[in-house]
Amino acid sequence: VCCHGTLEVVDDPAATLRAAADALRPGGRLSLLVSGRLAVVFAKAIAGEFGQARAALTDPSGRWGSTDPLPRRFDVDQIEALLAEAGFTDVNVRGTGILGHLVPAAHIDSEADRVALAELDELLVSGPGREFLRTLGNGLHVLARRD
């Protein structure tokens, strides 16, 4: 089951994950992509929007204010807990777009720049001792198995 960009906008993320589990046979795989909370905290802080950064960090839904276009964002711990409650195991979370949302668009004006940034992102998270960087992705890509 592929569930990308969905949990942010559904009324009940836990129920949505239970439905995904019900759709899978035991051993079936889920690919999940959710918006990461910490990425927006860093982006807002770098932009000098400290109140919005703080709000995104402390709001239970990860929102930076009433005009935030997303109803919710997730931390790694939150998404792992929701998946466990829905009956998923072998959960692997990897941050995506760790640097992409922080680099001004003016610096990414060619395909070569986009490729170089993607390669740098991959190199950033692949080194030993850098596992914590997975929590900083603009997106959190999750692969999990249904029990």
Give the strand pairing for 29-35 and 2-4.
parallel
Q: What is the pLDDT of residues 30-70, one digit of tens each?
A: 999 999 999 999 999 999 999 999 999 999 999 999 999 99
Whole-angstrom distance, CA of residue 60 vs CA of residue 50: 17
Q: Residue 119: give its domain's CATH number.
A: 3.40.50.150
Q: What is the pLDDT of residues 65-89, one digit of tens each?
A: 999 999 999 999 999 999 999 999 9
Q: What is the pLDDT of residue 126?
A: 82
pLDDT, average across residues 91-114: 89
More confident site: 142 or 126: 142
Burial of 75 (0-12, 13-18, 19+ CB in 10 A): middle
What's the CA angle centered on 78, arms 137 and 121, to 5 degrees? 10
Number of domains in the chain: 1
Domain that holds residue 85: 2-146
pLDDT, average across residues 89-109: 89
pTM of this structure:
0.87
Residue 109: what residue type?
D
What DSSP state is assigned to residue 104? -
pLDDT at 101 over 90: no
What DSSP state is assigned to residue 115? H
Q: What is the pLDDT of residues 107-140, one digit of tens each?
A: 999 999 999 998 998 888 887 888 788 788 899 9
Task: List % helix, strand, coil for the chain (3-state, nearest 5).
Answer: 45, 20, 35
Let me know: does 61 contact 73? Beta carbons within 8 Å.
yes
Beta strands in the chain (DSSP E): 2-4, 29-35, 88-96, 139-146
